Amino acid sequence: MASACTIRVRGVVQGVGFRPFVYRLARANTLAGWVLNGEEGVEIHLEGDEPGLRTFVEDLKTQPPPAASIAEIEVQSAAPLGLNDFTIRESGRSKRPTVRISPDLPVCNACLKELFDPADRRHWYPYINCTDCGPRYTVVVSLPYDRAKTTMRPWPLDDYCDAEYRDPGNRRFHAQPVACAACGPGYFLRSGDAVLAGSEASIRSAAQLLNHGGILAVKGLGGYHLACDAGNAPSVAALRERKFRKEKPFAVMARDIEVARGLVELTPDAEGLLTSVARPIVLAPAKANFAQVVRGVAPDNHELGLMLPYTPLQHLLFEAGAPKALVMTSANRSSEPIAYEDDEALERLFGIADAFLIGERPIARRVDDSVVRAGVFGPAILRRARGYAPGAVTTIPSDGPILAVGADLKNAITLVVDGQAFVSHHIGDLGDYQSFRAFRETVQDLIAMYEVRPRELLVAHDAHPEYVSRAHALALGVSQAVPVQHHRAHIASVLAEHGDWETHVVGVSCDGTGYGDDGSIWGGEIFVGSVKEGFERVAHLRSASLPGGDAAAQYPVQAASGFLAQLGMSDLPDVTRAPFYFSDRFGRGLELIRKDVRTFATTSVGRLFDTAAALLGFTREITFEGQAAIWLEELARTAPLTEAYPFPYDGEELDFRPLLQAVIRDRLCGRNLREIARAFQLGFARGLCDALNTICRVRSLSIVVLSGGVFQNELLLEDLKGFLDDVRVWTNHAVPPNDGGISLGQAAIAAFADSSQH
Ligand SMILES: [Zn+2]
Ligand SMILES: [Zn+2]
């Protein structure tokens, strides 16, 4: 007598080869029944003998497809229907598409084996993939996820691929981007007017070019990379010069995990991130003597951003003898977004790349590499893009769809549909026209994919009246718009990850810039409250001036004028002379403050750190965001343990004046720069913790939430961890602590602002 059961599997189980996996598992255990993609996940009906059913459930739990992530398995006994085979059923069409778009996946081991097997049909075929691996988000044009709606549309399957595509027992069953050299796209190499055709020949030739120190533009999953030998100093220098990228660290792709281990110190957590299916760039401490990577790759930085190959093409380049460690940086000039269209890439990268390795498969949307770190408080995502986007990061209760448009810097957007919060890939700085275009396309893209009409949307946007994200959102013709204050959104982003709407917490939000309730520029705020009841600002950094607005973020010396002016001129040495040598931007800053022209009040911790960096010698213009603070952290990192400078809290304000006075005093008496940097950072951490411990005690709270770009500073986090032992600390893990996480917090706050109005 046969038994039967129904199984519901929730989590990331759609678009990751789950149904063919279930099919093969059922056949292996001689079970009959069916599987389909249902409203809330995968639904399975099984019948057969008891041991077979048990083995099935066991294997389901222990050997799911590599890209799947099972949140819950629910097994219920059912009445046998007398079925005699197992089938994959078509999903019923519900009101919204239920097949979520999975993030892009790295090539799987089974495909890699075929790639390097001379007897295999796809030997050396750079677009090999199967249901367990390959592109998703970067090839999807619209939903439902079918080949005709991907960028593979121009390449009809030949009989061989078609047979695999239709065979439920095959690893390529319904693998939408499946192809082979006979029917699919290929790669070619273009150098000037010369074109070398043929995937294998062009890849081998490209590897040679890299070996000889050339700079190669390579088309990848979500855009073009610029690659060169990371161990070749002249190549790295040439890349910097041609790309107008003076100092910002380049990411490096290591041939394999052994090479990676030789380059950086990898903790088990960091190694887990490096080899995870997201295949992000992992920031890890560089080893002291590494031959394959020259210093110019990441100047003034103890960390190196490292990733492993994730496309078949990248594996082939290494196989063809490319250097073991390659610089792999987004192919763009300075702050522009990653190039992704062939003509655009050829045009924009003219004069940068010596040759272009061009794949014929179009890219549906530009998606950068993600950047992560195995942080002090657990994994931290600093840039969330390929491999993570557009996955749902959490659930947010809401009646209707919510679109949160994020901030103007490090923009990413969030769409909440049926309670699922989908966070887009990193889009970038909307002040750049290309990024703004990508922002508009992403908004269109997501609402079209999930079939949301703008009219039904609740929109959440930053309270900054001049943000273009806000203006664009309001122009969509939405039903309701909720402004959300920047720093509250940071705190809410952490609570949204925890799915916690009611717990009262102490939230610390420290960053460079955000529009405050009073119209001034905030960035050092302490709140008390919950997502549901709102956050009351209970303390903040003492206010300083910000002369010249945004320009002050570009010049630490200009930011310094706004903070040092608070010390009183009589307390101030002549900082234009030794040992400070501030440029005349300092004097011009003071002049703006004196005349009250283009001067704003600010509580920005980012600018306070810039001020300290300026006092310690970082007096030039920054060439990438956060550079001065990173420089300061690097100085402090190598210092011996030292006494903290005073940073007193009076119950409302944290006073930076004693902190900066101590820096100036020690600088004047010639104390070691590294010790001063360390005492400053330690003082900041100690003062902040004193404030937090006091607030927690007075208000009987035990959870501290940290968010905002300043908390990308690992040394600061280490110090805070040491000083905050009686409280629990919550930080971001699924979205960045910087402005890339803002949209998630906006969506959470808007969800509750909305319900309280009804
Ligand atoms: Zn595969
Ligand atoms: Zn084929």
Dump the DSSP string for 650-666.
-SSEE--HHHHHHHHHH
How close is the Cα of 136 to the center of ligand 2, in Å?
A: 19
Q: Alpha-carbon distance 64 to 131, whole Å?
A: 12
The pLDDT value given to residue 142: 79
CA of residue 161 to ligand 2 center, whole Å: 4
- Give residues with Cβ within 8 angstroms of 447, minimum separation 6: 401, 403, 415, 453, 454, 457
Catalogue the long-range contacts made by 655-661 (C-beta closer than 8 Å, 24 or more residues apart). 655/542, 656/541, 656/542, 656/544, 656/563, 656/566, 656/608, 657/542, 657/566, 657/567, 659/608, 659/612, 659/683, 659/684, 659/687, 660/563, 660/564, 660/567, 660/611, 660/612, 660/615, 661/567, 661/571
SS3 assignment, position 210: helix
What mean pLDDT is predicted for residues 16-39? Answer: 88
pTM of the model as a whole: 0.93
The pLDDT > 70 percentage for the chain reads 96
Strands (E) located in 418-520: 420-423, 458-462, 480-484, 505-515
Q: Which amino acid is at 623?
A: T
What tokens were used for 653?
A: 């304000």
Mean pLDDT of 158-184: 93
pLDDT value of residue 6: 95
Specify whether the CB–CB gap between 107 and 315 falls below 8 A: yes
**What rounded mean pLDDT belongs to the chain?**
92
Give per-residue pLDDT as tens, 463-490.
999 999 999 999 988 889 999 999 999 9
Ligand approaching nearest to the C-alpha of 132: 1
The alpha carbon of 547 and the centre of ligand 1 are apart by a number of angstroms equal to 55
* Dist CA 218 CA 223 (whole Å): 8
How far are the Cα atoms of 140, 415, 606, 668, 750 from residue 425, in angstroms, in the given order?
A: 14, 12, 25, 47, 21
Distance CA 243, CA 742 (A): 30
Question: Residue 335: what pLDDT?
Answer: 53
pLDDT tens sequence across 619-674: 999 999 999 999 999 999 999 989 999 999 999 999 999 999 999 999 999 999 99
SS3 content of the chain, % helix, strand, coil (to 5): 35, 25, 45
* Mean pLDDT of all residues in 406-428: 94
Q: Which ligand is nearest to the CA of 165?
A: 2
Q: Are 632 and 616 in contact (CB under 8 A)?
A: yes
pLDDT value for 157 = 96
How many other C-beta atoms can be found within 10 angstroms of the C-beta atom of residue 244? Answer: 12
| CA 430 / ligand 2 centre spacing (Å) | 41
CB of 439 closer than 8 Å to CB of 411: yes
Over range 368-396, report the average pLDDT. 95
Q: Using alpha carbons, select from 512, 468, 504 the residue that is nearest to residue 486.
A: 512
Is residue 158 helix, strand or coil? Answer: coil
Give 591's contacts (C-beta < 8 A, 6+ positions apart). Answer: none
Q: Which pLDDT band holds residue 89 (cuts at 50, 70, 90)?
A: confident
Q: Using 50, 70 and 90 to split pLDDT, how confident is the model at 756?
A: very low
Number of helices (H), then strands (E), belonging to the chain: the values are 22, 30
The pairing of beta strand 728-730 with beta strand 521-530: unpaired
- How does DSSP classify residue 267? -
> What single letter denotes the amino acid at residue 149?
K
Give the ligand at the shortest distance from the Cα of 115: 1
Q: What is the pLDDT of residue 100?
A: 67
Q: Is it the case that residue 294 has pLDDT exceeding 50?
A: yes
Distances (CA, A) of 433 to 408, 466, 641: 12, 16, 46
What confidence score (pLDDT) does residue 608 get? 98
The string of pLDDT tens digits covering residues 298-321 is 988 899 999 999 999 999 999 999
Name the strands in the sheet holding 42-48, side by side, starting at the edge strand that comes first in the sequence. 69-77, 3-12, 42-48, 32-37, 86-88
The b/e string for 331-352 (b: 16+ C-beta within 10 A; e otherwise) is: bbeebbbbbbebeebbebbeeb
pLDDT band at 417 (very low <50, low <70, confident <90, very high): very high
Mean pLDDT of the region 440-459 = 90
In this model, does residue 337 exceed pLDDT 70?
no
Question: Cα(29)–Cα(52) distance, rounded to whole angstroms?
Answer: 5
Encoding tokens for residue 516? 């405050």
Strand partners, 379: 374
Least confident among 33-47, 400-414, 459-473, 478-492? 33-47
Task: For residue 121, give the ligand nearest its CA.
Answer: 2
How much is the average pLDDT of 362-366?
90
Distance CA 673, CA 655 (A): 22
Q: What is the reported pLDDT for 353?
A: 94
Least confident segment among 98-107, 237-246, 406-415, 448-457? 98-107
Q: Give me the residue label for tokens 């690659």.
A: 227
The Å distance, Cα 318 to ligand 2 centre, comes to 25
217 alpha carbon to ligand 1 midpoint, in Å? 25
- Residue 349's contacts (CB-CB under 8 Å, 6 or more residues apart) are 217, 224, 226, 331, 339, 356
Question: Cα separations (Å) of 190 from 127, 200, 329, 465, 744?
Answer: 19, 14, 19, 47, 42
- Taking residue 81's Cβ as centre, other Cβ atoms within 10 Å add up to 13
Ligand found nearest the CA of 67:
1
Would you call 457 helix, strand, or coil by DSSP?
coil
**Residue 138, pLDDT score:** 93
Read off the pLDDT of residues 573-618 as tens digits, 9 standing for 90 and up.
999 999 999 999 999 999 999 999 999 999 999 999 999 999 999 9
Query: Closest-lying ligand to the alpha carbon of 164?
Result: 2
pLDDT at 94 over 60: no
* Residue 401, token pair as written in the block: 């769809």
How does pLDDT run across 237-279, given as a tens digit for each residue? 999 999 888 889 999 999 999 999 999 999 999 999 999 999 9
Distance 152 CA to ligand 2 centre (A): 12
Write the CB contacts of 163 (distance below 8 Å, at least 6 apart in sequence).
none
Residues with CB under 5 A from ligand 1 (ion): 108, 111, 130, 132-133
Q: What is the model's pLDDT at position 1? A: 59
Identify which ligand lies nearest to the alpha carbon of 128: 1
Give the per-residue pLDDT at 758: 37
Residue 309 sits at the vertex; the CA angle it makes with 305 and 314, to the nearest 5 degrees, is 125
pLDDT for the residue numbered 415: 96
Can you give the C-alpha Rg of the chain in angstroms?
27
Per-residue pLDDT, averaged over 490-496, amounts to 98
Ligand 1 centre to CA of 236 (Å) is 33
- Confidence check: pLDDT of 540 > 60: yes
Using a pLDDT cut of 90, give the percent of the chain over it.
Answer: 78
Q: 88 alpha carbon to ligand 1 midpoint, in Å?
A: 20
Stretch 534-552: mean pLDDT, rounded?
Answer: 95
pLDDT reading at 336 higher than 70: no
Of the listed ligands, the closest to the CA of 129 is 1
Q: Would you say 526 and 508 are in contact if contact means Cβ atoms under 8 Å apart?
A: yes
* pLDDT attached to residue 333: 57
pLDDT score at 576: 93
- In this structure, the number of other CB atoms found within 10 A of the CB of residue 54 comes to 12
Quote the ligand 1 centre to 59 CA distance (angstroms). Answer: 20
Task: Give me the pLDDT at residue 418, please.
Answer: 86
Dihedral over Cα of 732, 735, 740, 741: its sign:
negative
Residue 710, pLDDT > 60, answer yes
Question: Does residue 451 register a pLDDT over 90?
Answer: no
Query: Which amino acid makes up residue 22?
Result: V
The number of residues making up the chain comes to 758
Q: How far is the CA of 184 from the centre of ligand 2 (A)?
A: 6
